[in-house]
Structures are given as C-alpha cells and as structure tokens.
Amino acid sequence: MIRIVWRRFRENPLSLTGLVIIFILATVALFAPLISPYGPATINVYNVLSPPNNAHPFGTDDLGRDVLSRIIWGSRISLSVGFIAIGIAATIGTVVGAAAGFYGGIVDAVLMRFVDIMLSIPTFFLMLAVIAILEPSIHIIMIIIGLTGWMDVARLVRAEFLTLKERDFVSAARAIGASDYRIIFRHVIPNALSPVFVFATFGIAGAILTESALSFLGLGVQPPQASWGNILTSGKDYITVAWWLSLFPGLAILITVLSYNLVGEGLRDALDPRLWQNEK
C-alpha cells in the first residue's frame, strides 16, 4: 500500500514540490542556530530599518535586528505550533471518533452531540477569549489550537469506523475472543488513519495561519521571541517606509501554508482507494 501511495503521490508535481519545500523548511528550522547569520534578538541601533543589502539580505527592523535571522528562528515557532497543535487535535479526534463509531448507540449520540456543540462555537473568538484570560505563550497557543480543532477528525474517524466495524476481519477478531481495546487499536484504527493523515496536513497549515494571526494581534508569541506573526506586527507601523518587514514574513507564511495544502491535496488523491483500480 505504501508503495502505491508513494507512486501516486509522485505523479503530482505540485504536491511533490510542496513536499520538497516542507523538507527545506524543516531543515532550516532544525538547524536555525547554524544557518542564522545573526541572533534573533541581536539589536543594532546604528542599523535601524536598513533596506535589504549584502549584510542583511532581508533588511533590518525598527530595532536593527536582522529580519532574515528572525524569520529563520520564527520558522521553529510556526512549525512547532503546527505539528504539536495538530498532534493534540488528531489524538483527541481519533479517540472520540473511534469510540462513537465503534460502540454506537447512546455513546455515539452523546459524543456527536458534544461535537456539534463544539462546532457551533466560533473557534477563533473562543481562542481570543481564553488567551486574553491566560498569559499568552507558545505552549498555551499549541494547547488551545489543539483543543479547539479536533472535531473534524472525530467525524472523519467515526465515519470510517461505522464502515470498518462491519468488515470480516473485525468479525474474525471477535470470534477468537479479542477485546474491544485490541480490536479498536490493533485492527480498526490502522485502517482508519488515511483521512487523519490528510486532515493533519491541511490542519498544520491552518494552525500556522492561526498562530500568525494571534501573534499579529499581540495575543500569540510575545517579543523578543521571534515568530512570523509578530514580525508582521512590527512591520505594519512602517509599511510605507520599510516594505521588507511585511513582505518577507508574509511570503514565508504564504509559501509554507501553500506547500502544506499542496501536500494535503496530493495525499488525499494518493490515499483514495477508488483511484487504485488501475494500479498493479
């Protein structure tokens, strides 16, 4: 199966390009201390709002900090938020969806009504309210995005379980005395993870956008820690005289989100078994 998925994924050049860009971004984030030409908080009051040049390819900000270095270090924040927040959301959603789909009846009714209630709440405004009450930090943002983004996963996993629990391999597992826990986690969940992988790819892009938006509003990652959102915030006051403060972090967000969306579309097509009928 993995061989077929990879072959189908490679047939989509845009998705493959997105995967290469994601790999490059992950490498940059991992080796930020070695790649970054300056420290992300290094101030030079004699080089304030310097346009892009040889010493500072992306220019400097209002405190003389190198924008390229801050974008490189900010990639760590954005990618960390994306992976950890969606990891939390995918875990909660998978557990809830598995329980609802496998047991059905009153368990399904209660859990799915709770999902409906959560979906009726404006998520972004809920995050704003919680972050306004608590002290803004990267860890709070990860947890809140994860706790408010699991509902779609739950519905996807529930739909998969409703189909898979009627298959012969589940009946065979019951016949040999396998427990519900073993059937769920050993037999059904591995076959229900395809839509979760697709959701996670799109979800990481959404989480990066959410973190950037919160940081732009001043409710996310707090200075002097660098994130793409708060770099944009510092640039909005100088948009007419220092265009580079808004352009480069904006491009970083655009390229990253677009890459994850392209990979998500490629995975969605590659994991669709209806398209495998001509595969050998």
Q: Is residue 6 part of a domain?
A: no
Per-residue pLDDT tens for 165-201? 888 888 888 888 888 788 888 888 887 888 888 888 8
pLDDT of res. 279: 52
**Tens digit of pLDDT for each residue in 110-164?**
999 999 988 888 877 887 788 778 777 788 888 888 888 889 899 989 988 888 8
In terms of residue numbers, what domain contains 244? 23-48+60-264
Q: Is residue 140 part of a domain?
A: yes
pLDDT at 274 over 70: no
d(CA 35, CA 22): 17
Domain assignment present for 1: no
Tokens of 42: 């290094």
* Sign, CA torsion 134/139/145/148: negative
The pLDDT of residue 251 is 92
Q: Per the domain annotation, does 5 fall within a domain?
A: no
The mean pLDDT value of the chain amounts to 85
Residue 99 has pLDDT above 70, yes or no: yes
Q: How far is C-alpha 230 from the geometric centre of its chain's CA atoms? A: 18
What CATH number is given to the structural domain containing 42? 1.10.3720.10
SS3 47: coil
**What are the distances in angstroms from CA 179 to CA 91, 187, 188, 278?**
21, 11, 12, 37
- 11 assigned to some structural domain: no
The answer on pLDDT for 280 being more than 60 is: no
How many domains are contained in the chain?
A: 1
Q: Is residue 9 part of a domain?
A: no
Whether residue 279 lies inside any domain: the answer is no
Residue 212 domain-assigned?
yes
